[in-house]
Chains A and B, each alone.
Chain A
Amino acid sequence: MSRIGVFICHCGENISRTVDVERVAEEVGRLPGVAFSTDYKYMCSDPGQTLVKKAIQEQKLSHVVVAACSPRMHEKTFRKAVEAAGLNPFLCEMANIREHCSWVHENREEATVKAIDIVGMMVERVKKNRILPTITVPVTKRALVIGGGIAGIQAALDIADCGHEVILVEREPSIGGHMAQLSETFPTLDCSQCIMTPKMVDVANHPKIKLYTYSEIELVEGYIGNFQVTIKKKARSVDEDKCTGCGVCMTKCPQKKIPNKFDQNIGMRTAIYVPFPQAVPNTPVIDRDNCTWFKTGKCGVCQKVCGPGAIDFEQQDTLIVEAVGAIVVSTGFDLYTIAEKPKGSPIKGYGEFGHGKIPDVIDGMTFERLASASGPTGGKILRPSDGKEPKQIVFIQCVGSRAREKGISYCSKVCCMYTAKHTMLYHHKVHDGQAYVFFMDARTPGKSYDEFWRRSIEEEEAVYIRGMVSRLYQKGDKIVVMGNDISVGVQVEIEADMVVLATAIQPQKGADALAQKLGISYDKYHFYSEAHAKLRPVECATAGIYLAGACQGPKDIPETVSQASAAAAKVMTLFSRDQMEREPIVARVREAGCVGCFACKKVCAYGAVEEKEIRDRQGNLIKIVAYVNPGVCAGCGTCQATCPSKSVELDGYTDEQIIAMIEAL
Chain B
Amino acid sequence: MPLTSQPIDTSIYATITAAIRSEASRLFTAAEVVAIIGYAAARRVGSAQPVIITDAAAAETLIFTEACVNNLAVYLTKAKKEIPKKGKIGIIVKGCDLKALVGLMGESQLKREDLYLIGIPCAGVLASAVQPATTLTTETIASKCCECDVHLPLGCDFVPSVTLPPGPQMESRYSEEIARLEALTPAERWAYWKEQFAKCIKCYACRQICPFCFCEQCLCDRNKPQMVETTPRPAGNTAWHIVRAMHLAGRCAGCAECERVCPMDIPLNLLNRKMAKELKELYDYEAGFEINDKGPLTMFTEKDDQSFIK
Taking Cβ atoms with an 8 Å cutoff, the residues of A that contact B are 592-593, 595-599, 602-603, 624, 642, 644-647, 655-656, 659-660
Contact = CB atoms under 8 A, between A and B. Distances in A.
A602 B298 contact: yes
A596 B215 CA distance: 9
A478 to B, nearest CB: 51
Nearest to B218: A645
Given A644-B247, A655-B225, A598 B107 contact: yes
Contacts of B224: 656
Given A602-B299, A646-B227, A593 B216 contact: yes
B219 interface: yes
B108 interface: yes
Given A599-B298, A603-B298, A655 B227 contact: yes
Interface string B203-233: 0000000000011111100101101000000
A152 B215 CA distance: 52
A601 to B, nearest CB: 9
B215 A645 contact: yes
Contacts of A602: 294-295, 298-299
Given A596-B108, A597-B109, A624-B108, A645 B217 contact: yes
Contacts of A598: 107-108
A656 B225 contact: yes
Nearest to A662: B225
28 contacts: A593-B215, A595-B109, A595-B214, A595-B215, A596-B108, A596-B109, A597-B108, A597-B109, A597-B214, A598-B108, A599-B298, A602-B294, A602-B295, A602-B298, A602-B299, A603-B298, A624-B108, A642-B298, A644-B215, A644-B247, A645-B217, A645-B218, A645-B219, A647-B217, A655-B225, A656-B225, A659-B225, A660-B225
A646 B299 contact: no
A598 B222 CA distance: 20
A593 B217 contact: yes
B216 A595 contact: yes
Nearest to B248: A644
B88 to A, nearest CB: 17
B281 to A, nearest CB: 22
Nearest to A643: B219
Contacts of B217: 592-593, 645, 647
Contacts of A646: 219, 222, 227
Interface string B180-218: 000000000000000000000000000000000011111
B50 to A, nearest CB: 22
A624 B110 CA distance: 12
Task: Rank and list the top 5 A-B pairs by shortest CB-CB distance, nearest first.
Answer: A645-B215, A659-B225, A602-B298, A646-B219, A597-B107
Contacts of B216: 592-593, 595, 645
A602 B247 CA distance: 15
B259 to A, nearest CB: 21
A295 B120 CA distance: 58
B124 to A, nearest CB: 31
Contacts of B294: 602
Contacts of B227: 646, 655
Most buried by A among B214, B247, B298, B299: B298
A241 to B, nearest CB: 44
Contacts of A593: 215-217
A624 B107 CA distance: 12
Is the contact region of chain B dominated by helix, strand, or loop, or is it mixed?
loop
Contacts of B107: 597-599
A655 B222 CA distance: 11
A160 to B, nearest CB: 40
Contacts of B109: 595-597
A576 to B, nearest CB: 38
A656 B227 CA distance: 10
Contacts of B299: 602
A183 B108 CA distance: 62
A597 B227 CA distance: 20
Contacts of A647: 217
Contacts of A596: 108-109
Contacts of A592: 216-217
Interface string B238-254: 00000000010000000
Nearest to A598: B108
Most buried by B among A593, A596, A642, A644: A644
Nearest to A128: B225
Nearest to B247: A644
A596 B298 CA distance: 15
Contacts of A599: 107, 298
Nearest to A659: B225
Given A595-B109, A598-B107, A646-B227, 8 more contacts: A593-B215, A599-B107, A599-B298, A602-B295, A602-B299, A645-B217, A645-B218, A656-B225
B233 to A, nearest CB: 18
A121 to B, nearest CB: 15
A16 to B, nearest CB: 35
B127 to A, nearest CB: 30
A599 to B, nearest CB: 6
Most buried by B among A592, A595, A645, A646: A645
Most buried by B among A592, A597, A598: A597
Most buried by B among A595, A647, A655, A656: A595
A604 B227 CA distance: 24
A497 B227 CA distance: 80
A207 to B, nearest CB: 45
A644 B215 CA distance: 8
Most buried by A among B216, B224, B247, B294: B216
Interface in B81-106: none
A660 B214 CA distance: 28
Nearest to B77: A595
A596 B107 CA distance: 8
A644 B298 CA distance: 12
Contacts of A645: 215-219
Most buried by A among B217, B224, B247, B295: B217
A646 B228 CA distance: 12
Contacts of A660: 225
Contacts of A597: 107-109, 214
Interface in B18-42: none
A598 B108 CA distance: 7
Contacts of A644: 215, 219, 247
Nearest to A644: B247
A620 to B, nearest CB: 9
Contacts of A642: 298
A647 B215 CA distance: 10
A125 B17 CA distance: 61
A619 to B, nearest CB: 14
Nearest to B213: A644
B145 to A, nearest CB: 29
Contacts of B108: 596-598, 624
A517 to B, nearest CB: 17
A549 B273 CA distance: 55
A644 B103 CA distance: 15
A602 B300 CA distance: 11
Nearest to B222: A646
Contacts of A659: 225
Contacts of A655: 225, 227
Nearest to A596: B108
Interface in B142-188: none
Contacts of B222: 646
Contacts of A603: 298
B226 to A, nearest CB: 8
A68 to B, nearest CB: 28
A196 B78 CA distance: 70
A646 B220 CA distance: 10
B108 to A, nearest CB: 5
Nearest to B243: A644
Interface string B296-310: 001100000000000
A422 B264 CA distance: 88
A647 B247 CA distance: 14
